[in-house]
Amino acid sequence: MRQQFDADVAVIGYGPTGVIAALSLAQQGAQVLALERDRDIYPRARAVTVNDWTMRIFQNLGIGERVEKVIDPQRALRWVTYEGDEVMRVEHPPSALGAGSRCYNIYQPVMESELRSCAQEREDLITVRYGAEVTEIEQDDSGVTVTTTDTDTGEVRTYRTRYAIAADGGSSRQPDPAAPGHPAAR
């Protein structure tokens, strides 16, 4: 078993969770290898709101002011019909966390792009491989072997890290129900 590590932690998936995981680890001085299947940020809006807990995380990472420039404070939430009749209104109280606003409107592709720019500035500790789909993970007593397949060329590579974080989100591969450890296999 190879004992030389390519990084301390492999972060699998580089959406918002993966980027924040990478930045948090880099803040602690860990070497991170982020492996992302897609070459570009998913181009459509999904999340439309983040709250002050999320802002606190950004602030703790020292990127709060930068992210605030690409998101908007949400003072209230108002639902209206096409005719303009108000059906619901929620006024947000001020943040109790000292984070500014209680809620923020976001356009996810823009926020993700800013997060990735912030992480790019930690390239001393964060390496990102795009187009690298993780196809296999094997854990042993001393670490993890992560296998990727290049989404264009099909080239297979393996990386050895001490730990791996699965940040592969909603499009995560479904586990094989016949695989050892799967509840259905018991």
Ligand X SMILES: Cc1cc2nc3c(=O)[nH]c(=O)nc-3n(C[C@H](O)[C@H](O)[C@H](O)COP(=O)(O)OP(=O)(O)OC[C@H]3O[C@@H](n4cnc5c(N)ncnc54)[C@H](O)[C@@H]3O)c2cc1C
Provide the binding-site residues for ligand X, judged by CB under 6 A: 12-18, 35-38, 46-50, 108, 133-134, 167-173
Pick between residue 16 and residue 143 the one whose CB is nearest to ligand X.
16
The CB-of-41 to ligand X minimum distance in angstroms stands at 8
- Cα 82 versus chain centre, distance: 35
Pick between residue 31 and residue 147 the one whose CB is nearest to ligand X.
147
Pick between residue 6 and residue 133 the one whose CB is nearest to ligand X.
133
Helix 108-120, helix 16-27: angle, nearest 10: 30
The CB-of-57 to ligand X minimum distance in angstroms stands at 12
Pick between residue 154 and residue 170 the one whose CB is nearest to ligand X.
170
The CB-of-33 to ligand X minimum distance in angstroms stands at 12
Sign of dihedral through CA atoms 11, 16, 21, 26? positive
Pick between residue 27 and residue 171 the one whose CB is nearest to ligand X.
171
The CB-of-148 to ligand X minimum distance in angstroms stands at 7
Q: Which residue pairs from 59-67 have beta carbons closer than 8 angstroms and sit at least 24 positions apart in sequence?
A: 59/99, 61/20, 61/23, 61/24, 61/27, 61/118, 62/27, 63/23, 63/115, 63/118, 64/99, 66/114, 66/117, 66/118, 67/111, 67/114, 67/115, 67/118
The CB-of-140 to ligand X minimum distance in angstroms stands at 20
